[in-house]
Amino acid sequence: MRHPTAVVVSCLKKWFVGSDYEAVHVATKVPAEIHGPVVRVDNAPPHRETPVTDRTRIMLQVYGADDQECVDLLAACLDGLEMAYRADVAVMAWETDTEPYIFPDPDRPGVLRWQAAGTLWTALS
């Protein structure tokens, strides 16, 4: 079983291939120096929903140059997760429950950060 954040990072990287976002840094950690937009994937603890599935709350944080860039990139992320079942057989479903909103980073006051979230259902094997 792969960790849900690893599944999301992989799916988003595949979704961005051939798009304007192909060069975007997608990871579970934000680099010390931000050069260009960054997508950070975070999660709450997975919950065993059935003997063969996990349900995990996923938070997507986007760091960008301006509000529009952040909102557009988050929209692309959410679109990609809606189709994630095509990119990874472990993905059973995605449901967005929190649309993009501004989410200031107290450790990086000079950088814009927006967040969106949803629930990811994954197969355990």
User: What does the pLDDT look like over 2-36, one tens digit per residue?
Assistant: 899 999 999 999 999 999 999 999 999 999 999 99
Q: Taking the complete model, does pTM exceed 0.75, yes or no?
A: yes
Distance of CA 22 to the CA centre of its chain: 14
Distance CA 31, CA 35 (A): 9
Range of the domain at 46: 4-123
pLDDT digits (tens, 9 = 90+) for 106-116: 999 889 999 99
* CATH, residue 69: 3.30.2000.30
What are φ and ψ of residue 104, in 5° steps?
A: -55, 140
Could you give the number of structural domains in the chain? 1
pLDDT digits (tens, 9 = 90+) for 63-102: 999 999 999 999 999 999 999 999 999 999 999 999 999 9
Which pair of tokens denotes residue 66?
Answer: 């301006």
Residue pair 24/36 in contact (Cβ under 8 Å)? The answer is yes
